[in-house]
Amino acid sequence: MDHKVNGNLSALKRSRTWGQNVTTYNRLVRDRIPEIIEAMGNAVVWKELDNEGFSRALLDTVMRASQQFSETESLETLSDLFDAVDAWLELKGLSMEEVARARAEKRKRCGTYDGRRYLEVVADAQNLDVLASREQRC
């Protein structure tokens, strides 16, 4: 994992003596973000991740974008979520067609959200063993 450094930040990064006007992000960003930040006159330190690190960072991005979308309902944030999912699928050698098949199977097995059902309480079921023994849960 090579670090890409703008300016003479390598010694600063090694020493961990960040100044007052430095923000540490430690998160995955879109490819053009470092150059955009540099164009604003800022110094940037970034690294390219290996597959394992990239997978973990993508999943963190999915979680962050999902949380952000739940708070903002912004289409731009939703696009971040979709782009992170697309990148994760590509990394894993999966396709949207496979996701579509899994969605169709789940819909057939469990239904859709069209009925707007909001489960509040389940009490004292007599046949919990039947539910627990199902091969695929909803």
CA dihedral 45, 85, 55, 99 (to 10 degrees): -170
Q: Do 77 and 65 meet the contact criterion of CB atoms below 8 Å apart?
A: yes
- pLDDT tens digits for the chain (138 residues)? 555 655 445 544 554 555 678 899 999 999 999 999 999 999 999 999 999 999 999 999 999 999 999 999 999 999 999 999 999 999 999 999 999 999 999 999 999 999 999 999 888 767 666 566 656 677
Distance CA 118, CA 120 (A): 6
Distance CA 103, CA 114 (A): 14
pTM of the prediction?
0.76
Question: Tell me, what's the pLDDT at 12?
Answer: 47
Rg of the chain (C-alpha set): 22
Residues 78-116 pLDDT 10s: 999 999 999 999 999 999 999 999 999 999 999 999 999
Neighbours of 43 (CB within 10 A): 13
Neighbours of 55 (CB within 10 A): 15
The domain spans of the chain are 3-110
- What's the whole-number average pLDDT of the chain? 87
